[in-house]
Amino acid sequence: MTGSAAEKFVARWLGGTLAPVLGLDEIVAAQCSEIALMGRTKSHVFRLELRGLHEGCDVTHRVIAKFPSPDPFMRRLKRELNIAELERKVLTDLQSSTALAIPALHLAIQHEHPGDYLILMEDLGTSHCFQSPEDDVPFESVARIVDAVASWHARWWGKIPAGAATWLPQYNVGTIRDLLIATYETRGAESLERNASIPPRIRKLAQPLARRGQALLDRLCSPPLTVRHGDLHLSNIIVPTNPHGKVGVVDWETACVGQGAADLVGLTIGLLTAHDRRRYEQELLAIYLARLRREGVDAYSAETLRRDYHLGILGWLMRRVVLGLLGRGVPDDSAFQRLMTAIVDLDLDQRMYTLLEA
């Protein structure tokens, strides 16, 4: 969907439904002011500026509008996983007072056609700014994000709401588990092994990871459990321009129950260069643990955090390979290169069995 199509859709078809939600008598114009996230296999996310009338006065609202992926396979997959309903529930049922801001839901519409949906949510960017995925992220910003994510994890640490436990997935069971294990075992391992651009140690890890894939997912979904975002990367993170503002996180369609340390992988490896990750990795883990302590999570040691984080890196390798094969093939972006570098740096290819047995 293009920006102009999004504007027309909102203005023509949602004006009557959305206007009262935003406290307007009517919506007279919709302008796509920024494309926040775009990709062949991703949902389309737009920032929309809506101009309307309230008691004869012009009023402007900015919202984030999320449309489904244009890719037919991904639309079918997201329908099977009930992605739109999962995100709607997170935005409504898991709003909580933490150092991490998640957008309030304005409106969610599920269309009769398979995989079609629209989610309109609060634009956290009115007081924050989206950062470009190509930007170099300074350590101070990453530290701030890690601290906010730890606050979110602490809120749900060992106390997943009973209602949410019925709809939040776990990656070691069900449809998601079947997708990860089956795709990696049948295609992923071989794709890694035969790809000459992959470092030799990663190619040698491909088959052992396939053999222990279920054990790895089981460990990543074993206590201590919290509510994870599941896909933290820079396009999903809104960094405050105000030093006292909250870090915001959007795109909760991969939310799940699991170990919080796995969310850190997208922050340390995804946001930092390999050089900065080597320099700051332990400090970031310490920041995460310190926030957990301040929020009342005491029975979690630094040693256990490192182990869970290292297992999360291996889990991220499996996930990235599977998602790549569902798209265009084994990923070759800079984040994947940094992921492979981290695995070699930390000797995770040689330590996987020991980590799983610890």
Q: Domains in the chain, ordered, with CATH?
A: 3-122 (3.30.200.20), 125-357 (3.90.1200.10)
Which DSSP string do the residues of 31-48 spell out, in sequence order?
A: EEEEEEE--SSSPEEEEE
- Residue 181 has a pLDDT of 96
Beta partners for residue 37, in sequence order: 45
- Give the residue among 90, 250, 112, 237 at the shortest CA–CA distance from 167: 90
Selection from 24-28, 105-109, 121-125, 211-215 with the highest mean pLDDT: 211-215
Average pLDDT score over the chain: 85
If you average pLDDT over residues 28-51, what whole number do you get? Answer: 62
* C-alpha to C-alpha distance for 250 and 65, rounded to whole angstroms: 11
pLDDT beyond 90 at 337: yes
Bond prior to 240 in cis (omega within 30° of 0): no
- Residue 79 has a pLDDT of 77
pLDDT beyond 90 at 63: no
Beta partners for residue 121, in sequence order: 64, 105
Statement: the pTM of the whole predicted model exceeds 0.85: yes
Q: Where are the beta strands (DSSP E) in 187-323?
A: 226-228, 237-240, 247-249, 256-258
- Residue 240 has a pLDDT of 76
- Residue 214 has a pLDDT of 97
The sign of the CA dihedral 280, 343, 78, 257 is negative
- Residue 7 has a pLDDT of 59
pLDDT beyond 60 at 126: no
* C-alpha to C-alpha distance for 41 and 179, rounded to whole angstroms: 16
Q: How confident is the model at residue 127 (pLDDT cuts 50, 70, 90)?
A: very low
| Structure-model confidence comparison of residues 20 and 86, the more confident one | 86
pLDDT beyond 80 at 354: yes
| Structure-model confidence comparison of residues 13 and 174, the more confident one | 174
pLDDT digits (tens, 9 = 90+) for 234-251: 878 888 777 778 899 988
Task: Mean pLDDT check: name the lowest of 50-64, 151-165, 204-218, 283-297.
Answer: 50-64
